[in-house]
Structure 1
Amino acid sequence: MSAPDQPTGQPGQPAPTVASVEAVVRRQLATALGGRRGMVEAAVPTIMFTVLWLTTRELLLAVGISVAAALVLLAVRLVQRSTPQFVLNALVGIGIGYLFVWLAQRRGGSEEEQALAYFLPGILYNGGYTVLLAVSCLVTWPLVGFMVGSVTGDPTAWHEDRQVVRLCTRLTWLLALPCALRVAVQGPVWLGGSSGALEADAAIAILGVLKIVLGWPLQLAALAGMVWLLGRNTTPIESVAR
């Protein structure tokens, strides 16, 4: 239930349903992460692919079963009439991974090289996301600030409040940290497997484990840091909604 003295926001815009910037970010992050179920749905296809490749050495079978698992999860979501966002995200990830596998196959790559190619998009994505988040902080337009703007009705008004900019900058750096760590850890393993410095099967197994361990667990650690930071202060949302 909304508080009776809650600010009404800008004329013509819907009233915010939260009273502080910290509450806005907490709510938006909870929606974006999808809770425990979203984490499971994101992890299952990767687990299926890694286990099947290592046990059968059949690349198409590994990709096919991981897609089938994601489709089953999607069907359950549709039957329950709940958001399929996180399953669809997993399917998109599998599709992009298979595109890289296909490109490796077209270049005449071995099965090991094709399996390694499956993990490359995730490393590139995390690298790109790290750069994007870091640049947004360095130019003092942290991306988390736009979460606040999406609720206040004005996408840029938050930037006028230095306290909000500082808070959103710290939160954005915390979001960037897991992505940077994934690249720093997974990148050398992928390069080692691709160059022959590391046995390809060992690199694939390590990447599969790292993709899971450095996935949601690392994201949750970053989220815990963000929750701690958000719990320290209460920044009135009216200061950025006026």
Structure 2
Amino acid sequence: MTSPDKQPAQDQDAASPGHDGRAATEAALFEAFGGVRGMVETTVPGLVFIAVYTVNKDIHFSAIAALALALMLGVARLVRRDTVKHAFSGVFGVAFGVAFAMLTGNAKDFYLPGLLYALGMGLAFVVTTLAGVPLMGLILGPVFKENLSWRTRNPGRKKAYAKASWAWGLIFLTKVAILFPLYWWADTTQFGWVIVALKIPPMLLALYLTWVFLAKAPPPIDVFAEMEAEEKAERAEQERAEQERARAAASD
């Protein structure tokens, strides 16, 4: 059985994804990034932390309140039988922030792991795109059931993934460029409220641009369906061969 990623490239740039393609793109983005609820869940613990700290200036109480809320949101996800990734990704992020703040005694360090993560992701999006393997394609390829077929067989989608990765990378790096100076110069309450304010809007912009790029791109190649079709054809061929051998044996 040949690998679908190695078949000749198909000219799909003229294909129009239509309404179904746009809906599928929207659904895939929601699945990959947790949707609006996921963005809210990653924002609310940080909001609770800075709100509580603004009132009482107590790092420990603020950290415990944020972590308790993140755990409650994670458990609620599990009760609803959501994916474990969406259930606990926010919990781990908050736990790292709590650990940093507790160890250093600096409330601003609650947000430091998130800043470092944003820097790493921004660089990852830029570097992988320059290397010809845009990170957004690696993230969404399995969701669209196309795996890496877009690299060699679907140049239109590869271009869309590259544009989306550039958008995510530049948005992440711009956000970091704004926040890191504030980490050093602003006081904790100012810094925390700016972080909360910049949490959802850049993400929405990145998701919207990704949707625009992919909605205009050729449809994905479902490599799983292709492999199933190949396996079915091979089984049918084997059955025909066995039937022919059986008829030949009977005629003898």
Shared fold (TM-score greater than 0.5)?
A: yes
Q: Give the root-mean-square deviation of aligned CA atoms.
A: 2.9
1:49/1:66 contact within 8 Å kept? yes
2:146/2:221 contact within 8 Å kept? no
By how many angstroms is 1:167 displaced? 1.4
State the one-letter code of the partner of 2:73. L
1:24/1:147 contact within 8 Å kept? no
Mapping of residues 167-178 of structure 1, within 5 Å: 167-178=160-171
The corresponding residue for 2:196 is 212
Task: Give the gaps of 5 or more residues in structure 1.
Answer: 1-8, 12-18, 106-113, 194-202
Mapping of residues 171-190 of structure 1, within 5 Å: 171-190=164-183
2:145/2:223 contact within 8 Å kept? no
1:130/1:177 contact within 8 Å kept? yes
The corresponding residue for 2:114 is 122
Structure-2 separation of matches of 1:32 and 1:154: 14
Structure-1 separation of matches of 2:103 and 2:76: 32
State the one-letter code of the partner of 1:237. P
Identity %: 26
Mapping of residues 44-193 of structure 1, within 5 Å: 44-83=44-83, 85-105=85-105, 114-147=106-139, 149-150=141-142, 155-160=147-152, 161-193=154-186
By how many angstroms is 1:84 displaced? 5.2
Classify the secondary structure of the residue corresponding to 2:133: coil
By how many angstroms is 1:210 displaced? 2.3
By how many angstroms is 1:102 displaced? 3.5
Structure-2 separation of matches of 1:179 and 1:168: 16
Structure-2 separation of matches of 1:219 and 1:36: 10
By how many angstroms is 1:153 displaced? 6.0
C-alpha change, 1:240 and 1:79, in structure 2 (3 Å) is closer
TM superposition score normalised by structure 2: 0.72
Structure-1 separation of matches of 2:131 and 2:66: 40
The corresponding residue for 1:4 is none
